């Protein structure tokens, strides 16, 4: 094999690995979909190789105009097959941003740990999966 062929093969192999990486990062996460937490539903999706969430429903019709479409979860990085950490969540009711980790439970719920500083001092919220557009007043 000549030097030109070796360089061409190396470039082809590198391009192939890059494409495989792109397809793997574009795969849906096991938490992609709609999740209800208290009086909100979040659409959880992959964004820039992490997990994000935006508001797609709120129980209070007066909050829909301001809250609908807001991305309030970002930066969750996968740490295991069904666990994520290093994320942030913005609470639109109090205006504060908190740290976030999450784990998909065997019963199908999503356990989110929301905290400032140390996870031990935070609170745990349980999210349940809901069918998209299953509630009246879904964001447009």
Query: Could you tell me the residue ranges of all domains in the chain?
Result: 1-27, 33-130
Q: What's residue 110's pLDDT? A: 97
Task: Compute the mean pLDDT over every residue in the chain, rounded to the nearest whole number.
Answer: 83
Predicted model pTM: 0.77
pLDDT in tens, 31-51: 999 999 999 999 999 998 899
Look-up: residue for tokens 């574009």? 26
Adjacent-strand bridge partners of 85: 77
CB 139 within 8 A of CB 56: yes
Split at pLDDT 50, 70, 90, the class of 60 is very high
Look-up: residue for tokens 């199908």? 108
Split at pLDDT 50, 70, 90, the class of 59 is very high
Residues sharing a CB contact under 8 Å with residue 1, sequence separation 6 or more, in sequence order: 9
What top-level class would CATH report for the domain 33-130? mainly beta
């Amino acid at each position: 094999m000549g030097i030109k062929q070796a360089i061409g093969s190396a470039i082809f192999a590198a391009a192939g690995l890059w494409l495989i990486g792109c397809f793997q990062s574009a795969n849906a996460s096991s938490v992609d979909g709609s999740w209800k937490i208290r009086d909100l539903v979040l659409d959880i999706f992959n964004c820039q190789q992490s997990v994000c969430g935006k508001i797609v429903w709120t129980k209070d019709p007066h909050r829909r105009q301001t809250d609908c479409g807001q991305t309030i979860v970002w930066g969750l990085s996968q740490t295991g097959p069904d666990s994520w950490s290093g994320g942030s969540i913005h609470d639109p009711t109090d205006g504060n941003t908190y740290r976030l980790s999450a784990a998909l439970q065997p019963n199908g719920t999503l356990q989110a740990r929301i905290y400032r500083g140390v996870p031990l001092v935070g609170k745990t919220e349980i999210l349940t999966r809901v069918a998209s557009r299953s509630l009246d007043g879904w964001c447009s």
